[in-house]
Amino acid sequence: MLTTLIYRSQTDEPWTSAALTDLVDAACLKNIELGVTGILLFNGRVFFQVLEGKENILDLLFNQIRSDFRHHAVVELMRDYTAARRFPDTGMRLFDLRSQDICTVTDEVFGPTGGAREGLPRDDRVFRFMADFITEGCRYLLPPEFRSTCWKMEGREHSFPGPAPVFRQETPCRFALQPIVDPLAGEVVSYEALIRSPSGGSPDALFASLPAERHYHFDLISKVWALARAYGPEMETRTLAVNLLPGSLYTVTGAVRYLRRLLRRYNLRPEQLIIEVTESEIITCFDDFFRVLKQLREVGIGLAIDDFGAGYSGLSLLTKFQPDRIKIDMTLVRDIHLSGAKQAIVMSVIQCCTDLKITIVAEGVETLEEWCWLQSAGIRLFQGFLFSRPQMGSTGIMHWPVRLLNRPGNPGD
How many residues bind Mn ion (CB under 5 A)? The answer is: 4
Least distance in angstroms from the C-beta of 252 to ligand C2E: 12
Residue 202 has phi, psi (to 5 degrees) of -70, 165
The window from 39-47, 174-182, 298-306, 308-316 that contacts Mn ion (CB under 5 A) reads: 298-306
Residue 161 touches ligand C2E, criterion: CB under 6 A:
no
Residue 219, contacted partner among ligand C2E, Mn ion, none, CB below 5-8 A by kind: ligand C2E
Residue 69 touches ligand C2E, criterion: CB under 6 A:
no
Question: Which of 179, 364, 401, 409 is the binder for ligand C2E (CB under 6 A)?
Answer: 364
Question: What residues does 80 pair with on adjacent strands?
Answer: 4
Question: Which of 384, 391, 398, 399 is the binder for ligand C2E (CB under 6 A)?
Answer: 384
Closer by beta carbon to ligand C2E, 133 or else 382: 382
Cα dihedral 106, 109, 110, 116, rounded to 10, equals 180
Question: Which of 3, 49, 178, 243 is the binder for Mn ion (CB under 5 A)?
Answer: 243
Closer by beta carbon to ligand C2E, 306 or else 413: 306
The window from 8-16, 115-123, 200-208, 275-283 that contacts Mn ion (CB under 5 A) reads: 275-283
Question: Which of 20, 34, 245, 352 is the binder for ligand C2E (CB under 6 A)?
Answer: 245
Site for ligand C2E in 274-303 (CB under 6 A): 276, 278
Closer by beta carbon to ligand C2E, 110 or else 207: 207
The window from 15-23, 119-127, 262-270, 383-391 that contacts ligand C2E (CB under 6 A) reads: 383-391
How many residues bind ligand C2E (CB under 6 A)? The answer is: 22
Question: Which of 114, 172, 203, 396 is the binder for ligand C2E (CB under 6 A)?
Answer: 203
Question: Which of 127, 366, 394, 396 is the binder for ligand C2E (CB under 6 A)?
Answer: 366
What 3 state SS string does the chain have? CEEEEEEEEECCCCCCHHHHHHHHHHHHHHHHHHCCEEEEEECCCEEEEEEEEEHHHHHHHHHHHHCCCCCEEEEEEEEEEECCCCCCCCCEEEEECCCCCHHHHHHHHHCHHHCCCCCCCCCCHHHHHHHHHHHHCCCCCCCHHHCHHHEEEEEEEEECCCCCCCCCCCCCCEEEEEEEEECCCCEEEEEEEEEECCCCCCHHHHHHCCCHHHHHHHHHHCHHHHHHHCCCHHHCCCEEEEECCHHHHHCCCCHHHHHHHHHHHCCCCHHHEEEEEEHHHHHHCHHHHHHHHHHHHHHCCEEEEEEECCCCCHHHHHHCCCCCEEEECHHHHCCHHHEHHHHHHHHHHHHHHHHHCCEEEEECCCCHHHHHHHHHCCCCEEECCCCCCCECCCEEEEEEEEECCCCCCCCCC
Residue 133 and residue 48: Cα distance in Å, rounded?
A: 8
Question: Which of 52, 306, 369, 370 is the binder for ligand C2E (CB under 6 A)?
Answer: 306
Residue 243 touches ligand C2E, criterion: CB under 6 A:
yes
Least distance in angstroms from the C-beta of 8 to Mn ion: 30
Cα–Cα–Cα angle for 316, 319, 322, nearest 5°? 110
Least distance in angstroms from the C-beta of 304 to Mn ion: 7
Site for ligand C2E in 260-279 (CB under 6 A): 276, 278
Number of residues that make up the chain = 413
Site for Mn ion in 302-331 (CB under 5 A): 306-307
Least distance in angstroms from the C-beta of 233 to Mn ion: 24
Residue 194, contacted partner among Mn ion, ligand C2E, none, CB below 5-8 A by kind: ligand C2E
Question: Which of 52, 279, 307, 369 is the binder for ligand C2E (CB under 6 A)?
Answer: 307
Residue 276 touches Mn ion, criterion: CB under 5 A:
yes
Residue 381 and residue 376: Cα distance in Å, rounded?
A: 12
> Under the rule (CB under 5 A), what is the footprint of Mn ion?
243, 276, 306-307
> Under the rule (CB under 6 A), what is the footprint of ligand C2E?
178, 194-195, 202-203, 219, 222, 243-245, 276, 278, 306-307, 330, 364-366, 383-385, 390
